[in-house]
Amino acid sequence: MTARRIIPCLDVKDGRVVKGVRFEGHVDMGDAAELAARYRDQGADELVFYDITASPEGRTLDYGWVQAIARLLDIPFCVAGGIRTVEQAARCLDHGADKVSINSPALERPELIGEMAARLGRQCVVVGVDSAFQDGEWRVHQYTGDPNARRGAGRLTMDWIVEAQGLGAGEIVLNCIDQDGVRKGYDVAQLAEARRRLTIPLVASGGAGAVEHFRDVFVEADVSGALAASVFHSGAIAIPDLKRYLDQAGVEVRI
Amino acid sequence: MNVTLIGYGAGNVASVRFALERLGARVRITDDPTDVAEAERVILPGVGAAGYAMQRLKALGLVEALRAFPRPLLGVCLGQQLLFETSAEDGETELLNLIPGRVEAIEPAPSRPSPHMGWSRLTIRRDDPLLEGVKDGDWAYFVHGFVCPDGPATLAAADYGVPVPAVVNSANRWGCQFHPERSAAAGARILKNFLELPA
């Protein structure tokens, strides 16, 4: 089978990695390439680079840093941020990215998922979903990178992930934004529900604060990977320690 | 160390190129059958759909060049699948037909999502110069929704509920189902071994 993946997420703004609580009040965490090399050496299984300002500003990401990262890494990485066309996605892969993640553009035009899958193969098409609990349901939100542009997408999370899978998504990253940045643990109930509805890999995002949170989400929600940002960037959790803990807890990880 | 990489508009050419350059290789990227015929060794990368990849190889006149190539040839990911006879992907796709058998879809099951995406352990079935220094239990990074037939060509396998031929060989052709360029130390070792195969 596959090892459970530990995935540091680097939110990139103007070439720097930033992190805020619930997407607000960004703090500079360092240079993207430097952090990427550090995580590679510590045993990260995959990295995600998310250009958090690209989508709200209506621009796409900068292929230059995609290529710089690709030269450096011998582990897979995914890029996200403002990818709106198959051509832009193809250019990310041409510059060395392994996967591309789309979020708001997929909500604006769901056919984009199928177009990307047909041309690039579904295994490199990741659909990111920002989900919050509201009026008794998990609901999709969009433009979450910018507090002023953020809004509800008018879709139920569980319906949207199944639709995205049907259109050709190869993986879903479910970012539970009630939990994001507050370190109280992943939203295991929501992720377990999503896992039951999908046949493609599911990656958990939002809420990691302690090593036990990773064990809980792997054991109880059966997700393929767990994404986190601030706990890694701040040094609160070191990846080698996390992997040793998970291994001893009976969760298969790559050590 | 000279290596020719087929760039035919199907995927991960850049990441494979960078991995080879990290090993000190001189990499030529081409879609010209004449370059292929003259190459010292050839890598056929690929991500995406088999139908599209074969259509591109045909349009560029590369199918015969690859079939006739007499020196070391390495197919990576989709490139490994293309070495086989046919694929169930995109209806029924005729492949390069260099190794017998049909490529099939990985059916999802509980706790076994498809595509197979992530790090799996290798089990070595047969010693081979390509696997020099690679051990049982080494990790490799896989991303694929279709799987090659398991048979005498399998040099190393992964277990994903179904046996996954991870490294294959027939005569002067090798294949890697996983991404050696993204498989840390074991992947780099395999690429290095390929560069050192006698041409």
ipTM of the complex: 0.93
The pLDDT value given to residue B9? 77
Tokens in use for B181? Answer: 């360029």
Q: Does B183 touch chain A (CB under 8 A)?
A: yes
pLDDT value, residue A249? 98
User: Rounded to whole angstroms, how far apart are CA atoms B56 and B31?
Assistant: 10
Please say whether the beta carbons of B1 and B25 come within 8 A: yes
Q: Do B48 and A74 touch (CB under 8 A)?
A: no
In the structure encoding, which two tokens stand for residue B135, read together? 């051990």
**Is B11 an interface residue toward A (CB < 8 Å)?**
yes
Strand duo B173-176 + B162-170: pairing: antiparallel
Q: How far apart are CA A82 and CA A102, in angstroms?
A: 8
Shortest alpha-carbon distance between residue B52 and chain A (Å): 7
**Res A112 pLDDT > 80:** yes
Q: What percent of chain B has pLDDT over 70?
A: 99
Q: What is the pLDDT of residue A32?
A: 82
Q: How far is the CA of B51 from the CAs of A87, A118, A188, B2, B90, in angstroms?
A: 19, 10, 39, 30, 6
Task: Judge if pTM exceeds 0.80.
Answer: yes
Say which residue the tokens 């054991």 belong to.
A219
Confidence (pLDDT) at A57: 61
- Cα→Cα distances B93→A119, A123, A197, Å: 16, 19, 30
Mean pLDDT of A88-101: 91
Beta bridge partners of B3: B27
Domain limits for position B36: 2-196
Q: Is the pLDDT of residue B185 over 60?
A: yes
The pLDDT of residue B153: 98
Cβ of B119 within 8 Å of Cβ of A222? The answer is: no
Q: What is the pLDDT of residue A55?
A: 57
Could you give the number of structural domains in chain B? 1
- pLDDT score of B10: 64
Percent of chain B with pLDDT over 90: 89
Residues with Cβ within 8 Å of residue B191, at least 6 apart in sequence:
B19, B20, B23, B180, B181
The pLDDT of residue B50 is above 70 = yes
Which of B121, B105, B103, B112 minimizes the C-alpha distance to B183?
Answer: B121
- Pick from A77, A252, A251: nearest CA to B137: A252
pLDDT more than 70, % of chain A? 92
- Measured between beta carbons, which residues in chain A are less than 8 angstroms from residue B29? none
- Contact assignment for B182 to A76 by CB distance below 8 Å: yes
The angle, 0 to 180 degrees and rounded to 10, between the axes of the packed helices A86-94 and A111-120 is 40
B177 neighbors B167 (Cβ within 8 angstroms): yes
Residue A88 is given by DSSP the state H
Which one of A94, A122, A222 has the shortest CB-CB distance to B115? Answer: A122
Beta bridge partners of A204: A174, A226
Q: Kindly tell me if the per-residue pLDDT of A149 is higher than 90.
A: no
Span B140-167, average pLDDT? 97
In the prediction, which pLDDT does A58 show?
Answer: 59
pLDDT score of A245: 98
Q: What is the pLDDT of residues A30-85, one digit of tens each?
A: 888 888 999 999 999 999 998 876 655 656 667 888 888 999 999 999 999 878 89
A254 contact residues in B (CB cutoff 8 A) = 119, 139
Q: Which of A200-214, B2-16, B150-164 is predicted least confidently?
A: B2-16
- C-alpha closest to that of A40 among A3, A81, A1, A69: A69
pLDDT (average), residues A1-7: 96
Cβ atoms within 10 Å, residue A123: 27
Per residue in A9-34, pLDDT tens?
998 887 778 875 545 567 787 888 88
Question: Mind telling me the catalytic residues of B?
Answer: 77, 179, 181
Helix spans in A150-197 (H): 157-167, 188-197
* Distance set, CA A117 to CA A76, A165, A167, B106 (Å): 19, 11, 8, 17
Virtual torsion, Cα A66, A69, A73, A76, nearest 10 deg: -30
**Cα(B120)–Cα(A4) distance, integer angstroms:** 10
Over 90: is that where the pLDDT of B86 sits? yes
From the list B166, B162, B160, B186, the residue with the least C-alpha distance to B125 is B166
Query: Given a cut of 70, is residue A175 above it in pLDDT?
Result: yes
Average pLDDT, chain A: 89
What residue has token string 């050192």?
A: B196
Taking an 8 Å cut-off on Cβ atoms, the answer to whether A224 and B19 are in contact is no
Amino acid at the residue A136: G
pLDDT digits over A238-255, tens only? 999 999 999 999 999 999
Query: How many Å apart are CA A150 and CA A165, to the nearest integer?
Result: 24
User: Domain containing B167 — which CATH number?
Assistant: 3.40.50.880
Give the per-residue pLDDT at A181.
66
